[in-house]
Amino acid sequence: MAIYCLTVARLQLALGQGVRRMHVSAAFNAKAKVSMSRFEPSNYVNYEKLNENVNIVRKRLNRPLTLSEKIVYGHLDDPVGQDIARGRTYLRLRPDRVAMQDATAQMAMLQFISSGLPQVAVPSTIHCDHLIEAQIGGAKDLARAKDINAEVYNFLASAGAKYGVGFWKPGSGIIHQIILENYAYPGVLLIGTDSHTPNGGGLGSICIGVGGADAVDVMAGIPWELKCPNVIGVKLTGKLSGWTSPKDVILKVAGILTVKGGTGAIVEYHGPGVDSISCTGMATICNMGAEIGATTSVFPYNHRMKTYLEKTGRGDIAALADDYADLLVPDAGCEYDSMVEINLDELKPHINGPFTPDLAHTMADIGATAVKNGWPLQVKVGLIGSCTNSSYEDMGRSASVAKQALDKGLKCKAAFTITPGSEQIRATIERDGYTKILGDVGGMVLANACGPCIGQWDRRDVKKGEKNTIVTSYNRNFTARNDANPATHAFVASPEIVTALAIAGTLDFNPEVDYLTAANGEKFKLKPPSADELPKLDFDPGQDTYQHPPAEGGSKLWVDVSPTSTRLQLLEPFDKWAGGDLEDLQILIKVKGKCTTDHISAAGPWLKFRGHLDNISNNMLIGAVNIENDGVNKIKNQLTGEYGGVPDVARHYKANGLSWVVVGDDNYGEGSSREHAALEPRHLGGRCIIVKSFARIHETNLKKQGMLPLTFQNPADYDKIRPDDKISIKGLATFAPGKPLSTVVKHSDGTKDEFQLNHTFNETQIEWFQAGSALNRMKELQ
């Protein structure tokens, strides 16, 4: 049932629906053009075009629009003719820009090179943040990363220069913080090759995580496809106070919607409670929306965003956004597909985990729950920062807690690390004294990079397999994600809660009610943290770490990839569909339970091979649980009868001309946007992935690489499949949108099962499959 939006869009007043909109272009036609960013002075914010498209679509649909719809439909390639139906049709969109982090940019740029195009068609950037391992501290870790990753950094810098892509050097900061500080603005449509790209929604942007092949489409000037999202409304009332933070909003939402509750939808926050949240706090909430499977999340334009734009040197964009304010908020009376309501006055501090980000607890309950479940109470390490929580406000609130402990003669009982989100944040918190406070309480400042959040952590305080607890202000806490130890119980909370727990050293400490013991034996309670939302002085930009593409273009530049490199490898086209059904595919592995992209293509030490498809494929599905034996990376080779690692068996099948299929459970491929989780199965001979349900980005990535992502029409059919079965996919000669395919499952005892498999392919995506990949199809059309 449709839910009506209660937010009244500003500036509509008595003029009624659409009257002011019809004249807004003319009213501001004479205004000076405003650049999208200081790095691209000749690319301009185009609210006039956005407004024009929104008016066309609103008139066609004859109803008020949500903010999500305004921004998405406002970027339609054909607003007049595009079929628009939430949750059903595929939209062809024209994003404003592309952002890529260094681990995924390698494959994206390799694919762009394969396209044969001379320059990117839209503003694009590369951000070096994923390849820096946390070991002994920021400066030394950064120097080490520059040395061991020199080949990759040189490739990305030279490819950026040749093809017109801006390059943020290692040490710049985390991609999402850089985007918020420089590129996001209200109404922009940005795609990024990282699942936490939605962070930009805190600045009123629609920022969507994608695989590298999607980025190549946009950089090539091809309309980008997105299944028309549903819109989930989250109405916020009341206001944040005390120990409750923006992080608690998304921790609560994750507990309500679960890791797949947002799949296929944009989460749109609205209501009077929004104004009590800072711009960077809104970004935190949008960032972790990836953990509920949402396409993205967004907040309406307000004074908190305006202040942030002004403080980050973009007052001209803020002024223009003010002129178009009614375009950048939901229409009065707009409808949501479902609604969640949260009273911020009643929201309590949360902590989620372990092993999944949707297992929500209040701080009041976590201690008893941990004891009941046998989770270790001792906090070994507290880690704050990451792309989710590394703003000036976050660091200030954490320093506020740390200062209280220092004043009572206390330091952290747990190890404590701090990850600044950007060079600008690092320099500013150092200038303003936060770094010293956090260091004095026992913290170690890491490099401006992802670090332990993505498994780039050389952790040495516990042995692999040793049961222990860590608390982080990160976004994900899947098994072994942070430190490669499957026995680590990782919990996610706000930075100030993490800081308090690191000081107390125990998971059952609730700072709202519990006491600490000062050095002199006095009992005391921590006061709720307080800090400035933004620095009183201007931000200190720190070191200049940006490389502009050459003004004269890159036609005379050369990008070299050594044929003997172990880090980089030029791509060869995948084979085309042979024209018939897929017969007798061998089951490689029947996966049991949760299978994220971390299970399919692990990060951590494997990140160094992200530009070399054959080498990175040696990690394919090594984290997935085999239903046959509950083992990890141990499957039976049906040709030899011997057990081996998943990639080894896949390579053996490929060498013997045997194509294979993977069978999986619910929400298969949740987590990161990494397209390697799709490229690797294709490279090693896979043809099809059959599961109960997919996560959005992974399903699209599989299609892009010529794989068949299919779902059981009846989820119970999963139980009919045995690990040694052979599967045939029937109906490919008449493969069509909305028409199920059928399968014949042959069992080793001579019996068989037949049932239907669903798919979400549209006509264009079927062409990708037939051509062997989306990149193959692009080259066919050139």
Instruction: Name the pLDDT band for 671 (thresholds 50, 70, 90).
Output: confident
According to the model, what pLDDT value does residue 145 have?
A: 93
Q: How far apart, in whole angstroms, are the C-alpha atoms of residue 154 and residue 113?
A: 15
**Average pLDDT score over residue span 104-112:** 95
Q: How many CB atoms lie within 10 A of CB 563?
A: 7
Query: Is 674 part of the annotated catalytic residue set?
Result: yes
Instruction: Name the pLDDT band for 167 (thresholds 50, 70, 90).
Output: very high
Cα distances from 223 to residues 74, 96, 210, 688, in angstroms, run: 14, 11, 14, 26
| Angle of helix 102-115 versus helix 150-163 axis, rounded to 10 | 50
Is-contact 732 582, C-beta < 8 A? Answer: yes
**Average pLDDT score over residue span 153-165:** 96
Query: Is 666 part of the annotated catalytic residue set?
Result: no
| Angle of helix 303-311 versus helix 315-323 axis, rounded to 10 | 150
Q: How far apart, in whole angstroms, are the C-alpha atoms of residue 309 and residue 322?
A: 12
Q: If we measure between CA atoms, which residue out of 343, 317, 337, 339 comes closest to residue 328? A: 317
**Average pLDDT score over residue span 71-88:** 97
Torsion of CA 361, 363, 367, 372, to 10 degrees: -10
According to the model, what pLDDT value does residue 27 have?
A: 42
Residue 5 has pLDDT above 90, yes or no: no
Q: How far apart, in whole angstroms, are the C-alpha atoms of residue 269 and residue 250?
A: 11
According to the model, what pLDDT value does residue 603 have?
A: 86
- Enter the DSSP assignment of 563: T
Q: If we measure between CA atoms, which residue out of 329, 269, 330 comes closest to residue 294? A: 269
Query: Is 672 part of the annotated catalytic residue set?
Result: yes
**Average pLDDT score over residue span 702-709:** 97
Tokens matching residue 468: 């222990």
| CA 439 to chain CA centroid, nearest Å | 30
pLDDT tens sequence across 267-297 = 999 999 999 999 999 999 999 999 999 999 9
Q: Which of 127, 459, 481, 674 is catalytic?
A: 674
Instruction: Name the pLDDT band for 764 (thresholds 50, 70, 90).
Output: very high
In the chain, pLDDT over 90 holds for what percent of residues?
A: 92
Q: How far apart, in whole angstroms, are the C-alpha atoms of residue 743 and residue 583?
A: 10
**Average pLDDT score over residue span 200-226:** 96
pLDDT tens sequence across 375-391 = 999 999 999 999 999 99
- Tell whether omega for the bond before 573 is within 30 degrees of 0, i.e. cis: no
Q: Which of 75, 94, 130, 176 is catalytic?
A: 130
Dihedral pair phi/psi, residue 134, rounded to 5° = -80, 125
Query: Is 358 part of the annotated catalytic residue set?
Result: no
Which residue did the predictor score with more confidence, 315 or 6?
315
Q: How far apart, in whole angstroms, are the C-alpha atoms of residue 451 and residue 473?
A: 13
In the chain, pLDDT over 70 holds for what percent of residues?
A: 96
Q: How many CB atoms lie within 10 A of CB 673?
A: 30
Identity of residue 136: I
Tokens matching residue 745: 């499952």
Query: Is 481 part of the annotated catalytic residue set?
Result: no
Say which range, 228-232, 605-609, 700-704, has the weakest mean pLDDT: 605-609
Q: Which of 476, 610, 651, 696 is catalytic?
A: 476
Q: Which of 102, 129, 432, 598 is catalytic?
A: 129
According to the model, what pLDDT value does residue 21 have?
A: 36
Query: Is 747 part of the annotated catalytic residue set?
Result: no
pLDDT tens sequence across 180-207 = 999 999 999 999 999 999 999 999 999 9
pLDDT tens sequence across 397-421 = 999 999 999 999 999 999 999 999 9
Residue 1 has pLDDT above 90, yes or no: no
**CB contact set of 641 (below 8 Å; sequence gap of 6+):** none
- Enter the DSSP assignment of 422: B
**CB contact set of 74 (below 8 Å; sequence gap of 6+):** 49, 50, 51, 53, 54, 57, 187, 189
Place of tokens 């500036």: 11
Q: How far apart, in whole angstroms, are the C-alpha atoms of residue 24 and residue 259?
A: 41
Residue 6 has pLDDT above 70, yes or no: no
pLDDT tens sequence across 9-61 = 333 322 233 333 333 444 444 467 999 999 999 999 999 999 999 999 999 99
**Average pLDDT score over residue span 508-526:** 97
pLDDT tens sequence across 343-377 = 999 999 999 999 999 999 999 999 999 999 999 99
Q: Which of 194, 214, 666, 725 is catalytic?
A: 194
According to the model, what pLDDT value does residue 31 have?
A: 61
